[in-house]
């Protein structure tokens, strides 16, 4: 019995999946929704690391997984963010110059991460209506490479909804539009308790 219900004859001897273009290779425009560049933790697994993980092991994981930042998690709670720049930049050197200096092998993620209370966050409601140009304006004003997106429930409890990377946006824009159009600019936002509103 023939189980092929399509109209045409089968050309291939086996099924072939379509070639998918990775999200990072898709071109962006400044007017595109900010959601296009957010890593949404409701649909993608968050890449995490423990604060007691050795920094070079964490960096090796970043390289293996193709990411530049990882959420730092202790007993199910996000306590910070560590980036490849935190590990490869000046933070380990500064840490090693402290009175209780240790060897690089002894430096842990918790020693160089940005703590939760110091992380710039962006509300989920804001991200839903923002454009790429809005994000670039925020990144420029705050001077960071990552924004953590937080979502509040009806009781006011916050959860980490996603992560936005400035370098990812810049790679996807690829110089196509490098000037913010006046029409795309939004009123400046202020940082309050680590959160941009």
Residue 102's domain comprises 28-196
Residue 12 belongs to a domain: no
Q: List Cβ neighbours of 92 (8 Å cut-off, separation of 6 or more).
A: 55, 104, 107, 111, 112
Residue 168 belongs to a domain: yes
pLDDT computed for residue 105 by the predictor: 83
- Which CATH number characterizes residue 45's domain? 3.10.580.10
- Is this prediction's pTM over 0.85? no
Residue 66 belongs to a domain: yes
Residue 16 belongs to a domain: no
Alpha carbons 114 and 111: distance in angstroms, whole number: 9
Residue 140 belongs to a domain: yes
Alpha carbons 165 and 69: distance in angstroms, whole number: 9
- For residue range 115-155, what is the model confidence (pLDDT) as tens digits? 999 999 999 999 999 999 999 999 999 889 999 999 988 88
Residue 8 belongs to a domain: no
Residue 20 belongs to a domain: no
- For residue range 167-187, what is the model confidence (pLDDT) as tens digits? 999 988 976 545 444 434 443
Residue 39 belongs to a domain: yes
Q: List Cβ neighbours of 130 (8 Å cut-off, separation of 6 or more).
A: 33, 34, 186
Q: What is the largest CA-CA distance in the chain?
A: 79
CB contact burial 40-69 (16+ within 10 A = b; e otherwise)? ebeeeeebebebebebeebbeebeeeebeb
Domains contained in the chain, number = 1
- For residue range 31-46, what is the model confidence (pLDDT) as tens digits? 999 999 999 999 999 9
If phi > 0 it is left, if psi is from -120 to 50 it is alpha, else beta; for residue 190 that is: beta
């Amino acid at each position: 019995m023939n189980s092929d219900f399509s109209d045409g004859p089968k050309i291939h001897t086996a099924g072939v999946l379509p070639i998918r273009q990775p999200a990072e290779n898709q071109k962006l425009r400044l007017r595109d929704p900010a959601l296009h560049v957010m890593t949404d933790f409701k649909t993608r697994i968050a890449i995490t690391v423990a604060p007691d993980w050795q920094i070079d092991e964490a960096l090796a994981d970043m390289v293996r997984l193709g990411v530049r930042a990882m959420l730092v998690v202790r007993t199910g709670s996000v306590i910070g963010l560590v980036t490849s720049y935190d590990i490869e930049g000046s933070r380990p050197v500064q840490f090693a110059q402290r009175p209780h200096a240790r060897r690089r092998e002894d430096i842990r993620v918790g020693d160089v991460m940005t703590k939760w209370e110091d992380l710039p966050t962006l509300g989920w409601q804001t991200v839903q209506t923002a454009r790429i140009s809005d994000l670039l304006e925020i990144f420029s004003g705050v001077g960071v490479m990552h924004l953590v997106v937080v979502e509040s429930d009806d009781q006011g409890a916050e959860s980490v909804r996603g992560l936005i990377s400035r370098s990812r946006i810049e790679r996807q824009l690829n110089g196509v539009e490098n000037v913010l159009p006046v029409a795309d600019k939004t009123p400046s936002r202020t940082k309050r308790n680590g959160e941009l509103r």
